[in-house]
Amino acid sequence: MSEQTYHTSVMLHECIDGLAIRPDGIYVDVTFGGGGHSKEILAHLGASGRLLAFDQDPDAWNQAEKIEDDRLTLITANFRYLEKYLRLHGVKQVDGILADFGVSSYQLDAASRGFSTRFDGPLDMRMGPSAAMDAKNVLNEYSAEQLQRIFGMYGEIKNARTLAQAVIQARTQKTLETTSDFKEILTKLAPRGKEFKYFAQAFQAVRIEVNQELQVIEEFLAQAPSVLAVDGRLCIMSFHSLEDRLVKNFIKTGDCFGKEDKDMFGVVHKPLASEIRKPMTASPEELKANPRSRSAKLRIARKL
């Protein structure tokens, strides 16, 4: 399986430009995936440069094994532990960090992973094997109130309460085991003509809950400034508004929820400065070649 098959890297050149790579620098790709961004970073590094890449997915580890380069260190862990693992590898500060919060094409298309709305598979949706729960746990064990919260908050589903009650009702008849079981419930409640979007929203909500995705991003962002050297770059691609809002707020204020840290004189102290006026999006050519890039937003910041 090639990287192209595993995952088509979104805004590859924009990310590399945003990192402003120094040949002798130390860089981190916290979402290795198929390795597309990592390979391009390595191509811009000199002999003394170094790249540390994080990924918790064993399928991604298989991709990393294909790269024979002593400058690459693969860390088989969630990037919420950024600072801890960098210290374990003797790294205190880095010159750039890249994060791509999107689900890989392989994960979406592999029925066995349970991410796909198109193919039947088990209710899994775990990004890595160490996750404490899977989608089956969420849909079969959460209360109506908990389900309503995740459908409404993470999926931005308007009839979240109705959907939560429908899930509760369905699981009294039988345990929900597969993505088809879930889609059977969704089909009855999806707005006509917008079924695919509704499926995607509901699957996204469960996936975010299973993997604690927003909490992971918050923890990662809180650590990023302390491991970045002065003038180091932070390049982050988000794929839905919930993620992007956290990133936007953090770059603007140093807090994921936009709370400003002011001193007694009212001066705002923040660790980062945005390098671009507004987030970058995929070019028309990229959108045509890779429709999954349509929702991507790239934000680039510099350590002050």
pLDDT, tens digit, for every residue of 44-76?
999 999 999 999 999 899 999 999 999 999 999
Position 2 pLDDT exceeds 50: no
- Residue 126, SS3? coil
Cα gap 128→76, rounded to integer Å: 10
| pLDDT (0 to 100) of residue 110 | 83
Cα gap 14→275, rounded to integer Å: 12
Position 3 pLDDT exceeds 90: no
Position 161 pLDDT exceeds 80: yes
- Residue 54, SS3? strand
pTM of the predicted model as reported, rounded to 2 decimal places: 0.93
pLDDT, tens digit, for every residue of 100-153?
998 877 777 788 899 999 999 999 999 998 788 999 999 999 999 999 999 999
pLDDT, tens digit, for every residue of 207-251?
999 999 999 999 999 999 999 999 999 999 999 999 999 999 999
Q: List, in order, residues 6 or more apart from 170 with CB less than 8 Å away.
A: 176, 181, 184, 185
Cα gap 296→239, rounded to integer Å: 5
| Local confidence band at 172 (pLDDT 50, 70, 90 cut-offs) | very high
| Local confidence band at 1 (pLDDT 50, 70, 90 cut-offs) | very low
Bridge partners of residue 235, in order along the sequence: 98, 300
Q: List, in order, residues 6 or more apart from 111 with CB less than 8 Å away.
A: 119, 120, 121
| pLDDT (0 to 100) of residue 7 | 62
Position 4 pLDDT exceeds 50: no
Cα gap 107→128, rounded to integer Å: 11
| pLDDT (0 to 100) of residue 109 | 76
CA distances 193 to 187, 188, 196, Å, are 11, 13, 8
